[in-house]
Amino acid sequence: MAQKSNTSIMELLKEIKDKDFPSDDSVLESRQASRAVLFDENDLIPLLFVSKYNYHKLPGGGIDDSEDKAEALAREVKEETGSEIEVTAEVGKIIEFRSKWNLKQTSYCYLGKVISKGNPDFTEKESRQGFKLVWLSLDEAISKIENDKPEDYEGSFIQKRDIVFLNKARQITVSRL
């Protein structure tokens, strides 16, 4: 992957909340994550279908203490899609406030291209949740996520977050044509 990405300040695309939170968010657990909208040689993007809870999501996940955003993204995408990637642009960030878990999660999203494909290496938890990798066009991915009916708390946040990321990615890619 190219440059270290912890130094840039990303555009805040949205804050998602299921209730009002105190203005002092230092009482919340904080989590940071990296995600990506990735295009393969056929302009298809990978999505993960979480069959147990009936929703799709972009590949990506939590940033470990020893990683920067780019390293975490490369690791998560490799685990969840089996793919090696190259980041080409920033999409933006979304902050989620999940009251049920007293959590503030910041997700950083990137655009990129798939350099090579392999097989996913799902965690035990991901396997239990019925993760399946699917490759769709950008418009199909947006439609799929918009029409999902998540059956758990986390999925409803993921759906809202990833629709924003995918629509912003479409806006960025169309403006480059």
| pTM more than 0.85 | yes
- The pLDDT assigned to 177 comes to 60
Rounded mean pLDDT, 38-66 = 97
Rounded mean pLDDT, 22-44 = 90
- The pLDDT assigned to 175 comes to 81
Q: Which domains does the chain have, with CATH numbers?
A: 12-175 (3.90.79.10)
Strands 84-98 and 12-17: parallel
The answer, yes or no, to whether residue 116 has pLDDT greater than 70, is yes
- The pLDDT assigned to 137 comes to 98
Q: What does the alpha-carbon distance between residue 160 and residue 146 come to, in Å, rounded to a whole number?
A: 8
- The pLDDT assigned to 8 comes to 62
Three-state secondary-structure class, residue 56: strand
